[in-house]
Amino acid sequence: MPSAIKGDSIFYRLSFTSAILIFLVLIGIILSLIDGGWLALSEFGPGFVFRNVWDPVNSEFGAASAIYGTLVSSLIAIVIAIPVGLGTAVFLAELAPDWISRPVSMAIELLAAVPSIIYGMWGLFVFAPWFSEGFQFWALENLVGLPLIGHWFDGPPIGIGLLTAGIILSFMILPIITALTRDALKTIPNVVREAAYGVGATPYEVITRVLLPSIKNAAVGAGILGLGRALGETMAVAFVIGGANRIETSLFMPASSISSTIAQQFNEATNEMHISALISLGLVLFVLTFIVMGAARLLLRKR
C-alpha cells in the first residue's frame, strides 16, 4: 500500500519538524541574546558581569548591581519558602486528616495559578504599606543595633526594596515547593511509616529521620526549581523592588533585579548601547537559570 506509506512518512516528517522546533526556538533565544547583547559585551568585555555601574546617560553599563539584586532577592525567597513549603507539605501529607488536607491542598494550588502581576500589585498596594508600618519600623528600632546583621535593616522604612521583593517572591514559589514535596511524601509506602511508628517513634522522629531523608532528592530538586522560578520572575519583582541600580548593604533600600531592569527600561532605552546592555543582562539571566534548572532536573529525575 504505497499511499499508506506515503501518509506515514508525511505524518512522521510533520511531527518530527514540530519536535525540532523546540530546539530551534531555544537556540534562537540564545543566539538572539548573544547577537543583541554583542555591542555591550564587546565594549565592556567579560568584566561586564562584575562592573558596578549603570549609567544610561553616559552609556556606561555593568551587570553587577542587577545580578546582586537577583541573587539576593532569590536567596531571601528560598530561605523563607523552603522551610515553610516543607512544613506545609508535611502538614498536608502526614499530619492533617483528609478533610482538611484536600481543600487546603486545592487552596495552595490556587495560589500557584494566580498570575505574577497580581502578586506584584498586592505586594505594592497591600503588603508594602503593612510591612513598612509593622516590621520595618520595629526593625529600625530593635534590629539595627545588632552586630553583623544590623546594617541589613538600616534604611528608610518605605515598604518597597530588596527584602520586600524577596518576600513576595517567596510567596510565589511557595506553592511549587509545597506541591512537589507533598507529592514525594505521598509516594512513600505506608509500611515504612508503620514500621517506624511500630518501634515507638514520635511523628517528629518518623518524619525527620525516616520520611524526609528518603525524599531528599525530590525536596532539594523542588527547592532548586523554586530558585529557578525566583531568578527569572519579572512582574512581581518589578512592582516592589524600587528600581535603583545600586548595590546597598541594607535590604530596605530600593534595588533592581535583572528581569525588572529589562522590564522597566527596555521601552525607554533609546541609544543602542543601552538596549544592548539590557539584552546582555538577559543573556546573564539565561545562563543563571539554565544552570539552576539543569541541576533541578537532574536531581528530580534520579529518584
| Site residue total, other proteins (CB under 8 A) | 90
25 binds other proteins (CB under 8 A): yes
Of residues 29-58, which lie at the interface with other proteins (CB under 8 A)? Answer: 29, 32-33, 35-36
Nearest Cα to Cα of residue 103 among 92, 112, 119, 94:
92
Of residues 151-190, which lie at the interface with other proteins (CB under 8 A)? Answer: 171, 174-175, 178
108 binds other proteins (CB under 8 A): yes
Q: Which of 235, 244, 247, 295 binds other proteins (CB under 8 A)?
A: 235
Q: Which of 193, 203, 220, 247 binds other proteins (CB under 8 A)?
A: 203
* Separation CA 73–CA 8 (nearest Å): 51
Please say whether the beta carbons of 96 and 85 come within 8 A.
no
Q: Which of 45, 55, 95, 195 binds other proteins (CB under 8 A)?
A: 95
Tell me whether residue 123 or residue 250 sits nearer to other proteins (CB atom): 123
Residue 145 CB, nearest distance to other proteins (Å)? 28
221 binds other proteins (CB under 8 A): no
274 binds other proteins (CB under 8 A): no
Residue 235 CB, nearest distance to other proteins (Å)? 5
Dig out the grid coordinates for 217 from the structure: 532528592
Q: Which of 126, 146, 149, 192 binds other proteins (CB under 8 A)?
A: 126
273 binds other proteins (CB under 8 A): no
Please say whether the beta carbons of 132 and 125 come within 8 A.
no
Q: Which of 141, 205, 209, 271 binds other proteins (CB under 8 A)?
A: 205
20 binds other proteins (CB under 8 A): yes
